Amino acid sequence: MGKKRIIQQSEEELLKEKNKVDAKVAKEMEASVKKISEGRVYISSTYNNTMITLTDTKGNSLGWTSAGKIGFKGAKKSTPFAASKVAEAVSQIASKFGIEKIAIFVKGIGSGRDSAIRSLMARGLEVVSLKDVTPIPHNGCRPPKARRI
């Protein structure tokens, strides 16, 4: 079979090839991160956690985070402080996409609702609208049938 000859590239050739690859990766990264001026923020605040999702105006998700994802555990996830930290993380995602104006939709009855909204406003995002979309039962559940003795 004989010896196999391996062609070794010089350092200059390797650097040129690396620069080409880096340029392609940079272009793809710029193309993947679209510049959007408006977006929506959905805040879901429960007794146990606070979750915030950032979407574009059509509703396509751009990023999300929750108190548990950031690192809070147990009862600390449902605190207003954890909700403000979650809102700061979402505002960083929004700045990456270039979002300046947001419409906020709040769902749930947890303690992190207000602090999350205030934190989003404090981070420089202009709030266009604020809507509470907490589900409210119209007539409630069907009552249990009468007890027979």
Average model confidence (pLDDT) across the chain: 89
Q: How many CA atoms lie within 13 A of 52 on its CB side?
A: 33
Number of H helices, E strands in the chain: 4, 5
Show me where the domains of the chain are located. 38-132
- For residue range 17-51, what is the model confidence (pLDDT) as tens digits? 888 888 887 777 666 666 788 999 999 999 999 99
pLDDT given for residue 7 in this prediction = 72
Q: What is the pLDDT of residue 140?
A: 85
- According to DSSP, residue 101 is labeled E
pTM of the model: 0.73
The CATH code belonging to domain 38-132 is: 3.30.420.80
Across 2-6, 101-105, 110-114, the highest mean pLDDT is recorded for 101-105
